[in-house]
Amino acid sequence: MATKILFEKLDIPGIETYEVYRKNGGYTSVEKALKTMSPDEVTEQVKLSGIRGRGGAGFPMGMKWSFIDKASGKPRHLVVNADESEPGTYKDRFLMHHIPHLLIEGAIVASYALGANLSYIYIRGEYMWIYKILEKALAEAYDNGWLGKNILGSGFDLDLHVHCGAGAYVCGEETALLESLEGKRGNPRMKPPFPAVSGVWAEPTVVNNVESISSVSWIVNHGGEAYANVGIGKSTGTKLICASGHIKNPGVYEVEMGMPVEEFFYSDEYLGGMIDDRPLKAVIPGGASMQILPTQYIFKTANGDPRLMSYESWADGGKLTGSGLGSGGFMVFNDTVCIVRNTWNISRFFHHESCGQCTPCREGTGWMEKILYRIENGLGREEDINILYDIQSQIEGNTICPLGDAASWPVAAAIHHFREEFEYHVRFPEKVKNKDHFRNEPMDKVRHLINSMAVS
């Protein structure tokens, strides 16, 4: 049976309440850490676990903790990133909704390890009902002595607050989040200095995702080595995957790193295969900012190896024949989906969410949206496809934060893998004006039309 770390207690009735959570082993990691471990020992266990940040970047969490500036003597802070802005991702919302004390317990242990006496949970503004759930859980934690002064008589003090953002995608980037937390416009900061040296209030800060921090209590209770023994290679532990699209069983799943994608996709325990048994056309494995992949690269890499649910396996093949596990937003598309329309919709989102600081992102995302809109509505020109590819290449790597990369990768991958659909839109404008064109013309017919017509 697959190991459950985050969902270990999820099916216990009433687990969202303090009483039930506590009766089922809740807050034991706080007791263990504060009574039997030093802060450095907690950090060492997290490093030993090999856990990588679950917000999308996949940076080793224990290493990130070890970077925090202790020499300056300034107050230190933990900020939990609960902004969860990535389209297709809703795992953090699920955790906070159904087992809020797991996050609070992890935040207490993490704050102790970092030497933080004032920490925050930064939650996106649209999650107002989750905000209320967290506020209730925090009040229970204070009332029962897990937060406040001299916790468990250890001499460790901690105040933990929830702060609502205003719904900006860019605030999922840690420095933009810190700007927003300070009451300013959520624009990403230039780095260095990094938050570990100068974060919120210009004081040493670690920013970690909800899923990452929620794993801390299990690591402390069972040991970093036990966590590292789950998973594969440098992708240790488990990962929450948010599955959506044309599948039989959409939802949030906890999978062991290293599970074959094919097993995850077709097993009745997980996705259960395609709904209505229509052909699979494409998958975006890690949220809208990751590269879309066609059928031939979903279950096998470009080298023919089985594709696994791990950071390394999804990245195998590089920018164009690989993708990224990202934040775990696993979106599945059948043969009726228009890739051009899908790419335009993604580009429209990133254009809207660009903060505008960097010219390549501010201007480039708008140009891509306009060109994709033109192509999708039967007004495209043959040269538009290459112009579009050129624009995305000049955004990538030329911005302060990764939003520029997030906007460029989906466009590059869509053109690389589905160029014939872009050509179809340009050459048969009268057909694409019918928004259900791929329901009426399966892709094998589209390919035949494209291949039989010389480029004009």
- State the residue for tokens 């429209």: 348
pLDDT surpassing 90 at residue 428: no
pLDDT at 57: 82
Task: Name the CATH superfamily for 18-228.
Answer: NADH-ubiquinone oxidoreductase 51kDa subunit (3.40.50.11540)
287 and 88 in contact (C-beta within 8 Å)?
yes
Average pLDDT, the chain: 93
Residue from 43, 7, 81, 79 nearest 237 by CA = 7
pLDDT surpassing 60 at residue 447: no
Q: Which two tokens stand for residue 431?
A: 């057909």
pLDDT surpassing 50 at residue 455: no
List strands edge to edge, sheet with 118-123. Answer: 159-164, 118-123, 77-82, 205-209
Cα separation, 300 vs 155, in Å, equals: 53
Q: Report CA-CA distances (Å) from 354 to 176, 259, 357, 394.
A: 12, 35, 8, 16
In terms of pTM, does the model score above 0.75? yes
CATH pick for 339-451 out of 1.10.287.610, 1.10.10.10, 1.20.1440.230, 3.50.40.10: 1.20.1440.230
The strand pairing partners of 377, in sequence order, are none
Cα separation, 274 vs 56, in Å, equals: 26
Cα separation, 403 vs 400, in Å, equals: 8
16 and 100 in contact (C-beta within 8 Å)?
yes
**Helices assigned H by DSSP within 275-402:** 311-315, 318-321, 339-353, 359-376, 382-395
What confidence tier does 438 reach under pLDDT thresholds 50, 70, 90? low
Q: Which two tokens stand for residue 39?
A: 């802060």
Q: Report CA-CA distances (Å) from 28 to 33, 57, 114, 138, 224.
A: 9, 30, 19, 17, 16
pLDDT at 436: 57
pLDDT at 442: 55
* CATH classification code of 235-333: 3.10.20.600
The string of pLDDT tens digits covering residues 151-209 is 999 999 999 999 999 989 999 999 999 999 999 999 999 999 999 999 999 999 999 99
Q: Report CA-CA distances (Å) from 120 to 75, 117, 215.
A: 14, 10, 17
Domain ranges in the chain are 18-228, 235-333, 339-451
Percent of the chain with pLDDT over 70: 95
